[in-house]
């Protein structure tokens, strides 16, 4: 039934107690002690190993479960390496600075909140990081709103909505790549499929912000001008720096070239431009690709925005992915997740109930643990077989994992994103939550489409038959 075969069937009480223990360990470590997720994950892995040994499961079997869990993330790991290179090369080649500058050109006194939403969405897509977007251009917009005396809560809602739209739809976002890689869906196919829910959420959010926007006639946009002048001072802002690598990425993605090759080609085009921009040696190039681009404009906010990328920058995420997947492998090997699902399996007979359950699981993990990576990973691993049973393709699940996982994290006051955003913007999470319209609409739309059947992709009938026979074979083997 599942990719990783359970070696035992624990009681429902055992499964619940272990799950609650892990949730308490991870959430309390992150929320109360500010720990990086890696440490509580290692502790949880150790607790699961001890439980397995107490239940007389051979250590070799536990080790195989850990390895089997981590194996499913190797595709994501390789893509993350290439993403680090892409970000560094796009900084060095001037692609990201040019695109950010173009986004700032959109800002006008009319439709103020709507433009904040669009601008942060564009920057988020280019940078591929919601938190970086919030901590840089988001802070600038908060400063402007304070100067012109408009609602900081609505401003923060627009910033968060745009930043997480951009993060969700960016091919260089770690969460986007993780969701596609875990469920073995092509990256650009995953992004195209997300458009069915993301674009309506974007349009509705834009209209709401346009309607509630004040008209600013004599505004002080000095903070924004500082950003624009700082970007121009880098001497990296040229139309061709933004247009050429972006065109390469878009064309190859439309042609459905594999993600790694597309990202590599986008990197090569930016590296070629970097030599035009004045890079001095291959030694400098290799240093940037490994350690990331370092901006030295002297403008703190600009340097913070542009200093990023490189293989080194991906190691934190890679470590988190491997640890979380390893824990997931043990949860399946020890039969914990299968036992929990078995207790509600009678409710998961329809497409609508499966989609709703997976969305609620993604939301629940965010609320209980406060970690969006684990939300994507555990939701994907847990419900993969359930989607197959009801004849749905994996890309439906990868979409749900993002619609109800990635964008919910900033709405939880004790989550990693929620704590960070509240501290950076100076606006409490519960104050901007009602105005983060995009984040609120995304899970509602994904559940709505689950009930209507619109935009869902079904597995071909012959493949469904094959999947069902595989489920039967695994179940039969388990009873022997």
pLDDT beyond 80 at 226: no
Tell me what the mean pLDDT of segment 85-97 comes to: 87
Q: Which residue is associated with the tokens 């109930």?
A: 353
CB 77 within 8 A of CB 204: no
> Of 90-104, 121-135, 210-224, which gets the smallest average pLDDT?
210-224
| pLDDT digit string, tens, across residues 364-373 | 888 877 778 8
CB 181 within 8 A of CB 379: no
Q: What is the pLDDT of residue 461?
A: 57
CB 379 within 8 A of CB 358: yes
pLDDT interval class at 57 (50, 70, 90):
very high
Q: What is the pLDDT of residue 100?
A: 79
Q: What is the pLDDT of residue 344?
A: 83
Q: What is the pLDDT of residue 2?
A: 58
Angle at 24 between CA 19 and CA 28, to 5 degrees: 155
> Of 23-27, 126-130, 135-139, 190-194, which gets the smallest average pLDDT?
135-139
Axis crossing angle, helix 139-148 with helix 112-127, rounded to the nearest 10: 170
pLDDT beyond 50 at 473: no
How many other C-beta atoms can be found within 10 angstroms of the C-beta atom of residue 283? 8
pLDDT interval class at 23 (50, 70, 90):
confident
| pLDDT digit string, tens, across residues 417-437 | 887 888 788 888 889 999 999
Is the four-CA dihedral 416, 417, 423, 426 of positive or negative sign?
Answer: negative
pLDDT beyond 60 at 237: yes
The count of residues in the chain is: 480
Q: Give the torsion through C-alpha atoms of 264, 78, 361, 62, to 10 deg.
A: 170
Residues 6+ apart with CB under 8 A from 133: 120, 123, 124, 127, 159, 162, 163, 166, 167
Tell me what the mean pLDDT of segment 163-185 comes to: 90
pLDDT beyond 80 at 470: no
Query: Tokens representing 423?
Result: 């501290």
What is the average pLDDT score of the chain? 85
Q: Give the torsion through C-alpha atoms of 327, 290, 259, 410, to 10 deg.
A: 50
> Assign residue 35 a region: left if phi > 0, alpha if psi is -120 to 50, beta otherwise?
beta
Strand, helix or coil at 441?
A: helix
Highest mean pLDDT among 159-163, 262-266, 295-299: 159-163
Q: What is the pLDDT of residue 440?
A: 97
Q: Which residue is associated with the tokens 């179940």?
A: 475
Q: What is the pLDDT of residue 221?
A: 64
CB 306 within 8 A of CB 355: no
> Assign residue 170 a region: left if phi > 0, alpha if psi is -120 to 50, beta otherwise?
beta
Percentage of the chain beyond pLDDT 90 is: 38
pLDDT interval class at 394 (50, 70, 90):
very high
Helices (H), 213-350: 222-233, 239-254, 259-276, 282-291, 300-306, 315-333, 336-344
Query: Tokens representing 15?
Result: 């499964």
Strand, helix or coil at 428?
A: coil
Q: What is the pLDDT of residue 477?
A: 31
CB 392 within 8 A of CB 456: yes
pLDDT beyond 60 at 238: yes
Backbone angles phi, psi at 389, to 5 degrees: -60, -40
Residues 6+ apart with CB under 8 A from 106: 115, 118, 119, 122
Nearest-angstrom CA–CA distance, 191 and 176: 8
Tell me what the mean pLDDT of segment 324-337 comes to: 86
pLDDT interval class at 129 (50, 70, 90):
confident
Q: What is the pLDDT of residue 462?
A: 52
Tell me what the mean pLDDT of segment 155-181 comes to: 92
pLDDT interval class at 147 (50, 70, 90):
low
Q: Give which of 169, 173, 161 is closest to 118, Cα–Cα.
A: 161
> Of 165-169, 263-267, 473-477, which gets the smallest average pLDDT?
473-477
């Amino acid at each position: 039934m599942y990719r990783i075969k359970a070696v035992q069937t624990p009681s429902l009480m055992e499964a619940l107690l272990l799950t609650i223990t892990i949730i308490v360990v991870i959430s309390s470590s992150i929320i109360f002690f500010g720990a990086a997720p890696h440490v509580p994950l290692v502790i949880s892995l150790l607790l699961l190993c001890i439980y397995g040994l107490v239940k007389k499961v051979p250590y070799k079997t536990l080790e195989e479960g850990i390895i089997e869990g981590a194996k499913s993330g190797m595709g994501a790991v390789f893509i993350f390496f290439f993403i680090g290179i892409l970000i560094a090369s796009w900084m060095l080649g001037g692609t990201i600075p040019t695109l950010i500058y173009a986004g700032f050109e959109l800002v006008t006194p009319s439709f103020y909140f709507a433009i904040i939403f669009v601008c942060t969405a564009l920057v988020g897509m280019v940078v591929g990081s919601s938190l970086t977007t919030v901590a840089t251009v988001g802070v600038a917009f908060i400063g402007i709103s304070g100067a012109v005396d408009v609602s900081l809560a609505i401003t923060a809602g627009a910033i968060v909505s745009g930043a997480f739209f951009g993060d969700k739809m960016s091919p260089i976002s770690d969460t986007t790549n993780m969701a596609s890689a875990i469920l073995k869906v092509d990256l650009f196919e995953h992004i195209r499929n997300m458009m069915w829910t993301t674009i309506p959420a974007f349009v509705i959010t834009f209209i709401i912000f346009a309607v509630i926007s004040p008209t600013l006639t004599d505004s002080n946009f000095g903070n924004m001008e500082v950003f624009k002048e700082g970007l121009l001072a880098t001497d990296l802002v040229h139309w061709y720096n933004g247009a050429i690598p972006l065109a390469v990425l878009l064309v190859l993605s439309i042609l459905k070239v594999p993600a790694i090759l597309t990202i590599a080609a986008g990197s090569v085009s930016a590296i070629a431009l970097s030599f035009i921009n004045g890079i001095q040696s291959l030694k400098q190039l290799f240093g940037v690709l490994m350690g990331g681009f370092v901006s030295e404009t002297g403008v703190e906010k600009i340097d913070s925005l542009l200093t990023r990328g490189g293989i080194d920058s991906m190691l934190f995420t890679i470590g988190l992915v491997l640890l979380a997947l390893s824990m997931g492998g043990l949860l399946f090997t020890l039969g914990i997740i299968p036992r929990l699902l078995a207790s509600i399996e009678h409710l998961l007979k329809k497409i609508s109930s499966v989609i709703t359950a997976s969305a609620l699981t993604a939301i629940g993990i965010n609320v209980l643990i406060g970690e969006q990576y684990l939300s994507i990973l555990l939701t994907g691993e847990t419900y993969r077989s359930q989607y197959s049973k009801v004849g749905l393709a994996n890309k439906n699940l990868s979409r749900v994992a993002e619609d109800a996982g990635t964008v919910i994290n900033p709405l939880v006051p004790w989550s990693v994103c929620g704590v960070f955003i509240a501290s950076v913007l100076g606006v409490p999470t519960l104050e901007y939550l009602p105005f983060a319209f995009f984040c609120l609409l995304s899970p509602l739309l994904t559940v709505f489409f689950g009930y209507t059947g619109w935009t869902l992709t079904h597995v071909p009938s012959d493949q469904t038959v094959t999947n069902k026979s595989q489920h039967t074979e695994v179940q039969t083997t388990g009873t022997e």
